[in-house]
Amino acid sequence: MLEMYRRDQFRQDLLVDRCTELATIEDRLGEIDLLLAAAVSRGRTRPAARCECGAPIFWGSKFCAQCGRPTAAPASAPGESA
């Protein structure tokens, strides 16, 4: 939109397509938020892993994205075989 404004060339078909995509993504995010809220209310989520610096450790990460420290090997969840 900004680029169209700068060039003073508006394409309504492109704007409609992009807005439709954004609306679809927004709807899906709403569905995911509802699913996450339901899982949390049932107590089915594990606490997020955190680095010593306090940043969240993403699943499969070997290093902290914030400070670069190596992550510890993830502990197996209860009931999982190693």
- Indicate whether this model's pTM tops 0.75: no
Closest alpha carbon to 64 in 50, 78, 75, 74: 50
CA atoms of 25 and 78, how far apart (whole Å): 35
The count of other CB atoms within 10 Å of the CB of residue 51 is 19
CA atoms of 36 and 43, how far apart (whole Å): 11
Copy the structure tokens of residue 72: 């510890």
Q: 3-41: per-residue pLDDT in tens? A: 888 888 888 888 889 999 999 999 999 999 998 888 777
Q: Residue 46: which residues within 8 A CB-CB, separation 6 or more?
A: 77
Above pLDDT 90, what percent of the chain?
18
Question: Picking from 27-31, 57-61, 64-68, which range would have the lowest pLDDT averaged per residue?
Answer: 57-61
Of 49 and 74, the structure prediction assigns the larger pLDDT to: 49
